[in-house]
C-alpha cells in the first residue's frame, strides 16, 4: 500500500484500506429480474471462502435494469446474510455494454473476478463474460 | 468558520433527554395520551449550541466520526439539525447517524406494532430529511452519507433513500473506511452505495480516536464487542477490545470540561471490562470505577451489564457491593443500567444464547436472573430489563417459563420491557415477528411486564430518578401518561384475558 497523502496531506496509512488487495473478490451480479438464487450462491461462496481465509472483502458490482438505489432490494438478502467479510456494493449500469466496460476495469485491478447470473440471462451477456475468460457462475432456473 | 463536512441527526437523537437517558426511550414510541409536541418536549428537548450551531453534547457515534475526520485533516463538525442551513455554502458532505432511523429496531418496532401508530423517532427523522436545508443541500450537490447502528434499515427503505438522495450507507465501525469514502466524495468520484464493514476492517484499540467534544449524558465507551456470542445480537460479531484507562480518562475529562457532569460507562457488559473471558475480574473494575468517580462531578451509570456477570462478580469478590457501597456511596444513591433477560426458558436460552449465563450453565439461567436481580435490588442498582418475544425457535412452553420467572422477580425493583424479535446478528436473515404470530402466552407476558413496570416506575421516580424539583413538570406528565396507559390496559384487560384463556 502506498503512503500517498490524502487531499489534506495526511498519509494514506491513516486512511484505512486495511484489507490487502489479494484478499478481495470482485463479484459481478447480473440481474435480469429478481432472482434469489444469485444471492444465495454468492453468500455460500463468501462463507466458504472466508472460512478458508481466502477473501476478507467482496466488492459487489450490480448490473441491473433497476436504477440506484432501488437495485439494493436485489442484494438486500445478501447483505443481511453476511457477517464474515466486508462488502462494498456499487451499481454498474445495465446492458451488455455496461458489463463489458465494467469487466475491462476489473481485469486491470488484478483481483479475482466472478460473475454471477441467472440462467434466464440473454446470450449477449454470456458472450461478454466468455470474451474475458472469467469464471461465470450461472445459477437458478431458466425462464 | 465554515465546515466542508457536517455531521448531524434529527432531534430525537440530538438531545440529552433532560439528562435522563431513559426518557430518550419515549422517542421510540408514538405520542400516547398527550400531543406530539409535548411528548417531544418531555423526551427530546433542544440542546444548547455554540455560536456556530455546534451542540454542546452530541451522540457518541457522531463524536467518534467527527474526531476521526478531524484527525484526517478535514474541516468537519457536528452541527445541530436546526443550524445546518448556515453551512449550505461550505458543506460538501452531510453525514447522518442514527440508532433507529425508521423505527425498525427494538423497542420502536414494538410500540408501532402495538399501537399501530408511527413512532416519533421515525416521524422526526423523515421530517428532518424533508426539511428545506437538507433538500437545498442536495440540490447544491452535497453528498449524503448515512451510518450508525441502524444503517441496515435503509435496505428496507430504498424508495426513501432515493427521495432523500442518500449516496452511501456505511454499516459497521467506520473509523478505518470513512477517510476513503470522504476522499472519493470530495473529488466527485463515484461512491459505493452500501459499505458493510467486516471484522477485518474494524479499528484496533490504538486506532479508535478520542472524542473532541462532549457526548450525550457523558457516555464513554470502555470496550467494544462482547464474548458471549448470542445469536440475536450484532455486537457479538465484533472483535473484543478493551479501551485503556488513559483514553477513558481523556474522554471523561472532555465531557466534564464541556459541562457534562455525569458519566455513562458504555459496554455491552460493563462488568466484563478487563475480564478473564466471561469471568469479571476485580482489579480492572475497581480501577475503572475509581477513575470514573475521581473525574465525574455527579453520578455514574452503566450502559449495560449481564445477570451472569453480576452474580459472578458478587459471589466471588463482593464486587457489586464494593462498587456501590465503597466507591460510589458518597456520589449517588442509585445506579441505572440496561440488562437483557431475553427469555425465562432454559431451553430457549440454550438455543439462542448458550453463553449468556456463563460461567453458569444455561439450565441455571432463571436462577442466575433471580439471584442477580436480588443483588441489584439490595445494592440500589435499577435495571431496565429487556425480554425478546417471537424469537424464531420460541415455543409456548418457553413463554410460560418466562411468565413464571416474571412472577418470581416481581419483588425486585426494575423496569421490564418486552421487545419483539428484530432480525439482527447471526439471526439477521430470519423473518420479523409479525402481528398475526402473537399468541395468548405473549399477551400474558406483556401484561405481566406492564404491571411490573408501572408498579416500580412510580417508586423509582419518587425515590431515585426524577426526585428533584426541576423535574416536577416532566414527572407529572409521566405520571399522567402511566395512569393513562394503565387505564387503557385495564379497560382492554377483560378482552385480553378472554383471549388468554380461550
- Whole-angstrom Cα distance, residue A78 to residue A58? 11
- Whole-angstrom Cα distance, residue B407 to residue B284? 36
Residue with cell 449550541: B49
Strand partners, A58: A25, A87
- CB B429 to CB A56 under 8 A? no
- Whole-angstrom Cα distance, residue A38 to residue A139? 6
Q: What angle do CA B230, B234, B239 make, to 5 degrees?
A: 90
Each as own residue / partner, the long-range contacts of residues B319-327 (CB below 8 Å, 24 or more positions apart, any chain) are: B319/B271, B319/B280, B319/B282, B319/B285, B319/B286, B320/B375, B320/B376, B320/B379, B320/B381, B321/B379, B322/B286, B323/B285, B323/B286, B323/B289, B324/B379, B324/B380, B324/B381, B325/B379, B327/B286, B327/B289, B327/B290, B327/B293
- Whole-angstrom Cα distance, residue A137 to residue B157? 30
Strands of B290-406, DSSP E:
300-302, 304-305, 335-342, 381-389
Q: By C-alpha distance, which of B459, B452, B304 is closest to B380?
A: B459
Element at B241 (helix H, strand E): strand B241-242
Residue with cell 435499577: B382
Residue B428 sits at the chain A interface (C-beta within 8 Å): yes
Q: Tell me the DSSP string of B6-48.
A: EEE--TTTSS-GGG-HHHHGGGGS---SS-HHHHHHHHS----
Nearest to B192 among A7, A80, A90 (CB): A90
Looking only at the bridges linking them, the beta strands covering B76-78 and A57-63 are unpaired
**What does each of the 502 residues of chain B score in pLDDT, given as a tens digit?**
899 999 999 999 999 999 887 788 889 999 987 899 999 998 999 999 999 999 999 999 999 999 999 999 999 999 999 999 999 999 999 999 999 999 988 888 878 877 888 999 999 999 999 999 999 999 999 999 999 999 999 999 999 999 999 999 999 999 999 999 999 999 999 999 999 998 889 999 999 999 999 999 999 999 998 888 776 666 666 788 999 999 999 999 999 999 999 999 999 999 999 999 999 999 999 999 999 999 999 999 999 999 999 999 999 999 999 999 999 999 899 999 999 999 999 999 998 888 899 999 999 999 999 999 999 999 999 999 999 988 888 999 999 999 999 999 999 999 998 888 776 555 555 555 555 677 888 888 988 998 899 889 888 887 777 667 777 777 777 777 777 777 777 777 777 666 655 5
Q: What is the DSSP letter of B107?
A: T
Element at B153 (helix H, strand E): none
List the grid coordinates of B173: 465501525
Any idea of the CA torsion for B32, B436, B409, B104, to the nearest 10 degrees? -60
List the grid coordinates of B476: 407529572
Cα-Cα-Cα-Cα dihedral sign, residues B133, B138, B141, B145: positive
Query: Would you say B145 and B181 are in contact if contact means Cβ atoms under 8 Å apart?
Result: yes
ipTM: 0.92
Residue with cell 461465470: A136
- Chain B interface disruption, residue of A16, A20, A61, most B CBs within 10 A: A16
Query: Would you say B177 and B201 are in contact if contact means Cβ atoms under 8 Å apart?
Result: yes
Nearest to A19 among B187, B190, B200 (CB): B200
Distances (CA, A) of B96 to A1, A91, B429, B482: 30, 22, 25, 33
pTM attached to this predicted model: 0.90
Contacts of A56 in chain B (CB under 8 A): 198, 200-201
**Residues of chain A that touch chain B, judged by Cβ-Cβ distance less than 8 Å:** 6-10, 14-19, 23, 56-57, 68-70, 72-73, 75-77, 79-91
Write down the H helix ranges in chain A: 36-51, 72-81, 96-109, 123-131
Quick count: other Cβ atoms within 10 Å of Cβ A82? 21
Contacts of A75 in chain B (CB under 8 A): 194
- CB B198 to CB A6 under 8 A? no
Amino acid at each position: 500500500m502506498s503512503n500517498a497523502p490524502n487531499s489534506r496531506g495526511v498519509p494514506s496509512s491513516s486512511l484505512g484500506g486495511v484489507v490487502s488487495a489479494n484478499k478481495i473478490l470482485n463479484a459481478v451480479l447480473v440481474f435480469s429480474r429478481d432472482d434469489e438464487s444469485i444471492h444465495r450462491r454468492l453468500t455460500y461462496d463468501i462463507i466458504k471462502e472466508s472460512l478458508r481465509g481466502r477473501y476478507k472483502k467482496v466488492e459487489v458490482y450490480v448490473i441491473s435494469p433497476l436504477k440506484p438505489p432501488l437495485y439494493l432490494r436485489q442484494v438486500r438478502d445478501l447483505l443481511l446474510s453476511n457477517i464474515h467479510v466486508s462488502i462494498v456494493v456499487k451499481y454498474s449500469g445495465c446492458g451488455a455494454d455496461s458489463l463489458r466496460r465494467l469487466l475491462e476495469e476489473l481485469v486491470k485491478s488484478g483481483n479475482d473476478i466472478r460473475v454471477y447470473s441467472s440462467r434466464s440471462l440473454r446470450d449477449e451477456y454470456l458472450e461478454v463474460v466468455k470474451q474475458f475468460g472469467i469464471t461465470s457462475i450461472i445459477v437458478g432456473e431458466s425462464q | 468558520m465554515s465546515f466542508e463536512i457536517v455531521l448531524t441527526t434529527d432531534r430525537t437523537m440530538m438531545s440529552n433527554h433532560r439528562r435522563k437517558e431513559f426518557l430518550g426511550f419515549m422517542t421510540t414510541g408514538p405520542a400516547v395520551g398527550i400531543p406530539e409536541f409535548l411528548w417531544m418536549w418531555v423526551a427530546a428537548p433542544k440542546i444548547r449550541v455554540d455560536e456556530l450551531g455546534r451542540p454542546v453534547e452530541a451522540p457518541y457515534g457522531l463524536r467518534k466520526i467527527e474526531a476521526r475526520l478531524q484527525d484526517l485533516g478535514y474541516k468537519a463538525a457536528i452541527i445541530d439539525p436546526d443550524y445546518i442551513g448556515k453551512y449550505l455554502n461550505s458543506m460538501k458532505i452531510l453525514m447522518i447517524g442514527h440508532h433507529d432511523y425508521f423505527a425498525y429496531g427494538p423497542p420502536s418496532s414494538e410500540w408501532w406494532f402495538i399501537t399501530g401508530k408511527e413512532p416519533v423517532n421515525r416521524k422526526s427523522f423523515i421530517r428532518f430529511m424533508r426539511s428545506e436545508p437538507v433538500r437545498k443541500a442536495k440540490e447544491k450537490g452535497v453528498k449524503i452519507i448515512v451510518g450508525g447502528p441502524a444503517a441496515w434499515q435503509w435496505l428496507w427503505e430504498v424508495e426513501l433513500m432515493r427521495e432523500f438522495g442518500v449516496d452511501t450507507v456505511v454499516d459497521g465501525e467506520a473509523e478505518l473506511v470513512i477517510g476513503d469514502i470522504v476522499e472519493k466524495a470530495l473529488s466527485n468520484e463515484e461512491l459505493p452505495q452500501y459499505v458493510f464493514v467486516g471484522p477485518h476492517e474494524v479499528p484496533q484499540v490504538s486506532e479508535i480516536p478520542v472524542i473532541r467534544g462532549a457526548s450525550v449524558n457523558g457516555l464513554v465507551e470502555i470496550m467494544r464487542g462482547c464474548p458471549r456470542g448470542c445469536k440475536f445480537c450484532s455486537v457479538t460479531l465484533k472483535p473484543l477490545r478493551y479501551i485503556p484507562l488513559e483514553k477513558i480518562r481523556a474522554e471523561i475529562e472532555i465531557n466534564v470540561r464541556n459541562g457534562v457532569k455525569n458519566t455513562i460507562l458504555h459496554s455491552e457488559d460493563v462488568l466484563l471490562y478487563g475480564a478473564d473471558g466471561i469471568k469479571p475480574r476485580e482489579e480492572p473494575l475497581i480501577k475503572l470505577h475509581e477513575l470514573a468517580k475521581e473525574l465525574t462531578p455527579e453520578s455514574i451509570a452503566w450502559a449495560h451489564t449481564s445477570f451472569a456477570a453480576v452474580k459472578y462478580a458478587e459471589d466471588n469478590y463482593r464486587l457489586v457491593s464494593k462498587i456501590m457501597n465503597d466507591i460510589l456511596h458518597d456520589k449517588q444513591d442509585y445506579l441505572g443500567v440496561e440488562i437483557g433477560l431475553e427469555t425465562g426458558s432454559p431451553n430457549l436460552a440454550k438455543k439462542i444464547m448458550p453463553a449468556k449465563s456463563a460461567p453458569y450453565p444455561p439450565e441455571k439461567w432463571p436462577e442466575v436472573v433471580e439471584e442477580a436481580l436480588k443483588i441489584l435490588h439490595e445494592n440500589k442498582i435499577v435495571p431496565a430489563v429487556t425480554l425478546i418475544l417471537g424469537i424464531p425457535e420460541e415455543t409456548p412452553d418457553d413463554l410460560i417459563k418466562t411468565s413464571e420467572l416474571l412472577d418470581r422477580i416481581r419483588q425486585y425493583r426494575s423496569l421490564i420491557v418486552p421487545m419483539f424479535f428484530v432480525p439482527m446478528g447471526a439471526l439477521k436473515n430470519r423473518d420479523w415477528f409479525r402481528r398475526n404470530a402473537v399468541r395468548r402466552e405473549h399477551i400474558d407476558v406483556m401484561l405481566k411486564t406492564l404491571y411490573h413496570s408501572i408498579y416500580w416506575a412510580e417508586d423509582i421516580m419518587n425515590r431515585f430518578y426524577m426526585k428533584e424539583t426541576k423535574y416536577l413538570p416532566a414527572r407529572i406528565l409521566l405520571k399522567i401518561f402511566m395512569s393513562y396507559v394503565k387505564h387503557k390496559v385495564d379497560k382492554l384487560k377483560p378482552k385480553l384475558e378472554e383471549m388468554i384463556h380461550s
